[in-house]
Amino acid sequence: MADIIQLLPDHVANQIAAGEVVQRPSSVVKELLENAIDAKASSITLLIKDAGKTLVQVTDNGMGMSTTDARLSFERHATSKIKVAEDLFNLNTKGFRGEALASIAAIAHVALKTKTNESEIGTALCIEGSKVISQDPAVVPCGTTIAVKNLFYNIPARRNFLKSNPVETRHIIDEFHRVALAHPQIAFTMLHNGSPVFELPVSNMRQRIVNIFGTKTNEKLVPVEEETDLVTIKGFVIKPDFARKSRGEQFFFVNNRFIKSAYLNHAVSSAFEGLIQNGTHPGYFLMLEVNPKSIDINIHPTKTEIKFDDEHALYAMLRATIKHSLGQFSIAPVLDFNKESSLETPYSYAGKRAVAPTIEVDRAFNPFTENKKQNAIQFPYKRDKKSANWEALYLGLNDGSSPPQEGQITFESEEVTGKLFDNKEQETTQQTFQLQNKYIVSPIKSGMMVIHQYRAHERILYEELLKNITLQQAVSQQLLFPLEVHLSKPNLKVLKSIQEQLEFTGFVFSNFTDETVSIEGIPVALVESQVPQVLENLVADVVAEIPEANFSQNDLLVKSLARSMAIKAGVALNKEEREHLVNKLFLCKEPSVSPSNKPVLVTLDAIAMDKKFV
């Protein structure tokens, strides 16, 4: 039998490895930014075009590479971070496996320019599909500039699986946030299609958070700090009042490396237990410093998952630290056994006996003697002149006149009927009932119908908003004073991209700034206090997925608005509101299902109910 097992060529092996390391343009951004940080750069610039599909370029002022290092950096498993296997358990750098540049070069056009501080001339290197095209000396500044062009040019299937530009841009921004938050001592700049997105100067962690998420974030932060032998915890948590339904602002960093940990996230959520509503999630920016030997980073291709030696102790410390911070800043009640200094007895009073208070009594005082100095009693009100002649009230009592007879007195009385309740009471008998402030029960001829009030209102709003956005005939309620909504720069950019569609639903936008948007009108069915939360949910849904077709995008916007604006379970409705909701529901085209294809109503006939009593 002939041998059938053979070694894969290097370029094929690199393309297979790229499937784990490079999943989308944001993966390239992450690897290149981490390499720049490992090069001890103090300023890093990220430039992307067409959401990274056309170009991802990172420029740093780090220590650069020599001509030999520039060529070897694109070989598989070539790294300067580790020498022996034991170094894997004492890592203080970002990249260490030596797969990133080799994988990127296998599926893109790469141009590298680098120069060290000691060299007089740098190196320019061009690679296409793992094949070196050219390597020449070049006059370049100190540091490294690496440009990745035409990602997945030789793997069309992978390129077709990429999402739309707004979605891919959002993934790149997320990776940029994770790297920039972990290193506030480094200045970062990000440009997209030539326009600046972020310009982050060197700062501390609090300022870095504010520079990324907007000045409004500063008042939401609660500092967290604790130092133990096992772990050092620093950072901030967001006040419970600003908890969101999405998990956007949740960042864990272990030794300046962003990680995802459902176990540690549960520790934070348990610390907020009782302070936030069900279905909402707390926000946090937490930096954990542990001994590198106590963690294992090399368990996931993207290095976003870490294995800890003692997770249970870390869980308890993190939970206790956050609860203490929330109590210390009067956000949550806390038991404090410290004594109040003002209640303590001074040492100078030691050994002294209590002195009885002295009481002075005027023994010559006689309450029955006339006090000539006492002035006349003054009343705070004046006597009415009309009521001064009070004797007139009793005139005619003794003049011998007879009292009025019984027939001369008339009494007010209502008509006596033989009914327990009058007709008006019977006419207002309720035809609908509310069960647990969640369901509306309405009797029908065959039995009764149970309606889910949230899904019913969601269906009503969905069809109304879809009609308005399609026909471009929305009704808006004007606000007396413009409403300012604070959003981050990326979210404002997304909101501005869908401004035209939102105006067809009833929104009226007047002014966009770097961090705020002014709103002069809102849809009729929307309450002014709900506008910030509705817009945040809308931007989150749009960022998650934007379909290419215009109608599908309108459908996505309308579904998100209806989901946020619909009355939630637990809201009590009066008789008129319930009947109006039921009547509007049966005017819809599809009253039986919600926009997400979930049942809205259930019918229980009399026959089924009779069987329950057999």
Look over the chain and give the mean of its residue pLDDT values, rounded to a whole number: 81
* Beta partners for residue 122, in sequence order: 138
Q: Compute the half-sphere exposure of residue 531: CA atoms within 13 Å on the CB side of its CA.
A: 24
Q: How many Å apart are CA 345 and CA 477, to the nearest integer?
A: 65
pLDDT on residue 550? 45
Q: In whole angstroms, how large is the CA radius of gyration of the chain?
A: 38
Please check the confidence at residue 28 and state whether its pLDDT lies above 60: yes
Give the residue among 47, 28, 488 at the shortest CA–CA distance from 248: 488
pLDDT on residue 428? 45
pLDDT on residue 426? 44
Q: How many Å apart are CA 610 and CA 614, to the nearest integer?
A: 7
434-445 residues labelled b (16+ CB within 10 A) or e (exposed): beeeebbeeeee
- DSSP 3-state of 11: helix
The residue-averaged pLDDT of 67-92 equals 73
- DSSP 3-state of 271: helix
How do residues 540-593 score in pLDDT, each as one tens digit? 877 776 554 444 677 888 888 888 888 888 888 888 888 889 889 988 988 999
- Residue 378: DSSP 8-state: -
Q: How many Å apart are CA 111 and CA 150, to the nearest integer?
A: 12
Look up residue 231 and give its two tokens.
Answer: 């772990």
Q: How many Å apart are CA 77 and CA 99, to the nearest integer?
A: 6
How do residues 31-56 score in pLDDT, each as one tens digit? 899 889 988 899 999 999 999 999 99
Please check the confidence at residue 513 and state whether its pLDDT lies above 80: yes
- Read off the pTM: 0.69
Cβ neighbour number for residue 194 with a 10 Å cutoff = 7
Confidence of residue 98 (pLDDT cuts 50, 70, 90): low
Confidence of residue 425 (pLDDT cuts 50, 70, 90): very low
pLDDT on residue 549? 44
Q: How many Å apart are CA 586 and CA 11, to the nearest integer?
A: 62
The answer to whether the CB of 198 falls within 8 A of the CB of 176 is yes
Q: How many Å apart are CA 181 and CA 205, to the nearest integer?
A: 7
The residue-averaged pLDDT of 383-411 equals 58
Q: Edge-to-edge strands of the sheet including 476-486?
A: 476-486, 516-523, 508-512
The residue-averaged pLDDT of 287-295 equals 85
- Report the run of H or E that residue 519 belongs to, with start and end: strand 516-523
pLDDT on residue 500? 85
The answer to whether the CB of 212 falls within 8 A of the CB of 231 is no
The answer to whether the CB of 23 falls within 8 A of the CB of 49 is no
* Beta partners for residue 522, in sequence order: 477
pLDDT on residue 410? 58
pLDDT on residue 387? 53
Q: What is the DSSP annotation of 141-202?
A: -SEEEEEEESTTTT-HHHHHT---HHHHHHHHHHHHHHHHHH-TTSEEEEEETTEEEEEE-S
Q: How many Å apart are CA 491 and CA 538, to the nearest integer?
A: 10
Q: How far is CA 90 from CA 82, 293, 295, 296, 434, in A?
A: 9, 5, 9, 9, 62
525 or 399, which is more confident?
Answer: 525
Please check the confidence at residue 427 and state whether its pLDDT lies above 60: no
- DSSP 3-state of 379: coil
Confidence of residue 17 (pLDDT cuts 50, 70, 90): low
Q: How many Å apart are CA 205 and CA 225, to the nearest integer?
A: 13
Confidence of residue 370 (pLDDT cuts 50, 70, 90): low
pLDDT on residue 48? 93
pLDDT on residue 11? 67
Please check the confidence at residue 349 and state whether its pLDDT lies above 90: no
- Report the run of H or E that residue 535 belongs to, with start and end: helix 531-544
pLDDT on residue 505? 85
Q: Compute the half-sphere exposure of residue 286: CA atoms within 13 Å on the CB side of its CA.
A: 28
* Beta partners for residue 254, in sequence order: 257, 288
How do residues 202-242 score in pLDDT, each as one tens digit? 999 999 999 998 888 888 899 999 998 888 999 999 998 88
pLDDT on residue 385? 53
Look up residue 87 and give its two tokens.
Answer: 């170094």
Give the residue among 264, 205, 202 at the shortest CA–CA distance from 234: 205
Q: Locate tokens 């520039």: which residue?
A: 70
Cβ neighbour number for residue 407 with a 10 Å cutoff = 6
Look up residue 464 and give its two tokens.
Answer: 């109304």
Angle at 140 between CA 136 and CA 142, to 5 degrees: 120
Confidence of residue 437 (pLDDT cuts 50, 70, 90): confident
Q: Locate tokens 């619909």: which residue?
A: 566
- Provide the sign of the torsion angle of the four alpha carbons 82, 84, 85, 86, taken in this order: negative
Q: How many Å apart are CA 284 and CA 269, to the nearest integer?
A: 10
Look up residue 469 and give its two tokens.
Answer: 């956005």
The answer to whether the CB of 237 falls within 8 A of the CB of 284 is yes
Q: How many Å apart are CA 377 and CA 458, to the nearest integer?
A: 72
Q: How many Å apart are CA 116 and CA 104, to the nearest integer?
A: 23
pLDDT on residue 416? 53
Identity of the amino acid at 525: A
Q: Edge-to-edge strands of the sheet including 447-452?
A: 433-435, 439-444, 447-452, 601-605
How do residues 143-157 score in pLDDT, each as one tens digit? 999 999 999 888 888
The residue-averaged pLDDT of 521-528 equals 85
- DSSP 3-state of 48: strand
Confidence of residue 103 (pLDDT cuts 50, 70, 90): confident
554 or 98, which is more confident?
Answer: 554
Lowest-confidence region among 13-27, 392-406, 488-502, 595-609: 392-406
Q: How many Å apart are CA 594 and CA 585, to the nearest integer?
A: 11
Q: How many Å apart are CA 68 and CA 504, to the nearest integer?
A: 60
Q: How far apart are the first and last CA of the chain?
A: 76
- Provide the sign of the torsion angle of the four alpha carbons 303, 305, 310, 316, taken in this order: positive
pLDDT on residue 54? 92
| Domains contained in the chain, CATH given | 10-200 (3.30.565.10), 208-328 (3.30.230.10), 439-602 (3.30.1370.100)
The answer to whether the CB of 287 falls within 8 A of the CB of 235 is yes
Please check the confidence at residue 419 and state whether its pLDDT lies above 60: no
Lowest-confidence region among 122-131, 243-252, 433-442: 243-252
Please check the confidence at residue 383 and state whether its pLDDT lies above 60: no
The residue-averaged pLDDT of 73-99 equals 68
The answer to whether the CB of 205 falls within 8 A of the CB of 212 is no
The residue-averaged pLDDT of 69-73 equals 87
Give the residue among 246, 83, 274 at the shortest CA–CA distance from 174: 246
pLDDT on residue 318? 92
Look up residue 9 and give its two tokens.
Answer: 């060529």
Confidence of residue 111 (pLDDT cuts 50, 70, 90): very high
The residue-averaged pLDDT of 488-501 equals 83
Please check the confidence at residue 477 and state whether its pLDDT lies above 50: yes
> Longest C-alpha distance within the chain, in Å?
144
pLDDT on residue 548? 46
Q: How many Å apart are CA 316 and CA 327, to the nearest integer?
A: 17
